[in-house]
A and B are shown apart, each in its own frame.
Chain A
Amino acid sequence: MTEEIIIAGFGGQGVLSMGKILAYSGVMQNKEVSWMPSYGPEMRGGTANVTVIISDERISSPILNSYDTGIILNQQSLDKFEKTIKPGGLLIYDPNGITHPPVRKDINIYSIAAADEAGKIGLSKVFNMIVLGGFLKLKPLVNPENIHKGLEKSLPARHHKLIPDNEKAIELGKELLIPVVVLN
């Protein structure tokens, strides 16, 4: 099993930390992982993305140009990465701020209104975990126990009190997915 994922959105949406929590959970589940962020001028332009690979085998290139899954949180990233999802792959996007929704018919597409929901329940800080929950519902690569450990390892000790909120958000995300295109 090798899962190649691109997570992309605005800086500040928790793109890099979502990737880190997923990767650390993978380490806790004894998988090989890599986490390759965009850095430098790309980030300073307001968008952030990270390539996360989780595998049972030694990982070859940490840098890719096609992905099994895209987790997309803004229009620029959708424009950039929709075409890079492998045929038969998965695209999850938050429709908040999306004016041109995805158009492909050869990949599975789900929307998840995580930003709206996080605002409603007053947990905007864990918006990214709602999205992660949606992904894990469709691709349960890591089990909840190892996600808990991943959260403990990724978050500084002063934020450990927020772990229950993070886990609640992951569970909530699992209920919020709306299928847009589902291949047979």
Chain B
Amino acid sequence: MGELRLMKGNEAVAEAAIRAGCDGYFGYPITPQSEIMEYLMAEKPHERTGMVVLQAESETASINMLYGGAGTGKMVMTSSSSPGISLMQEGISYMAGAELPCLLVNIVRGGPGLGTIQPSQADYFQAVKGGGHGDYKMIVLAPASVQEMCDFVKLGFELSFKYRTPAFILSDGAIGQMMEKVELFDPIPRRTEAELIKQCPWAATGKPKNREHIIITSLDLDPAGQERVNLKLQAKYKIMEENEVRYETIQCDDAEYIFVAFGLSARICQKSIDLARKKGIKVGLFRPITLSPFPTKPLGEMSKRVKGILVVEMNAGQMIEDVRLSVHSDQKVEHYGRFGGIIPSPDEVVAALEQKIIGG
């Protein structure tokens, strides 16, 4: 059993980064995720593992530092909250185009604009549909606990290197700020230079005489060449869809209705299930863990067995579009959401189920 600690979600991300063998964190402070860099600075990982932690002059600078670091095969990450992630979109698109691995963490707050510092899930579209330009997809993981905040840092790095694409943790201010029990995984040593060169033959690690130049770019002015790049990316995304879908089902075996929810909303729905079942309503939860690739097939299968689906999100209705694309067009699918930093309570979710799905 690993070491047990009581940690905030943000602290768990930071500790997990050090333990995962991360080479560099580059970020700029913003509530509600500033504890990530604060924890890293206090831990002095350059003394523990040699990991670099740098406060950049802006979010735009952070993401471009990631581009440079990832181009040399380094395991690099940044974190921010909604407005800061918006500033990074150009760089994220460039990294996806240049097939560079990195880990991005968004501790989402209410928007649009500067919005509020309270938790929200309104950046689903931005994360899943690509907030930057061009046909690209990231691997998007949605933790629902502090334990998953820790575990998905390690998983995110693994997947981003496996597919050479940015991995993204879509969390929110509540999971960032709350404390839960965490079992920390044992530290993984940072890769040596030789291990890095072996793992990342594509990386700009210094040119030996017997090898061509390695060029890392997202630019190909020849449209035929750029189409080939796109076809390669799409083929890769297809493999991700086949191999990397993750989800969890809770009390679905006898369910007549299901909630579909991710992250904090999925936790709230678990309480709503207890409340609803006390009233005799058989409801379960389908929780997508990878929002991209979305668990389309398993959700489609499950939807055939239920009378109705309530999608619960802290936004005005974003994931519901992917839910509707996963199920038969006759299936009853409704949305319940709160916005701008308001968190729905477990009872109001039950009331919404009764009104919109059972009674509606």
Contacts and interface: CB of A to CB of B under 8 A. Distances in A.
Interface of A: 20, 23-24, 27, 32-37, 39-41, 59-65, 153-154
Q: For chain B, which range describes its interface: under 10, 10 to 19, 20 to 34, or 35 or more residues? A: 20 to 34
B116 interface: yes
A63 B267 CA distance: 9
Contact of A39 (B32, B264, B274, B343): B32
Interface string B156-186: 0000000000000000011001111100000
A35 B268 contact: no
Contact of B6 (A23, A36, A40, A62): A23
B4 interface: yes
Nearest to A31: B181
Contacts of A35: 6, 178-180
23 contacts: A23-B6, A24-B6, A32-B181, A33-B180, A33-B181, A34-B178, A34-B179, A34-B180, A36-B174, A37-B177, A37-B178, A39-B117, A40-B116, A41-B116, A60-B273, A61-B267, A61-B268, A61-B270, A61-B272, A62-B264, A63-B343, A64-B345, A64-B346
B347 interface: yes
Given A20-B6, A40-B31, A40-B118, A63 B180 contact: no
Contacts of B173: 39
Contacts of B297: none
Main secondary structure of the interface of A (DSSP, over half): mixed
B35 to A, nearest CB: 11
Contacts of A64: 271, 345-346
Given A27-B6, A61-B267, A20 B177 contact: no
Which of A39, A41, A61, A153 has the most chain B CB atoms closer than 10 A to its own CB? A61
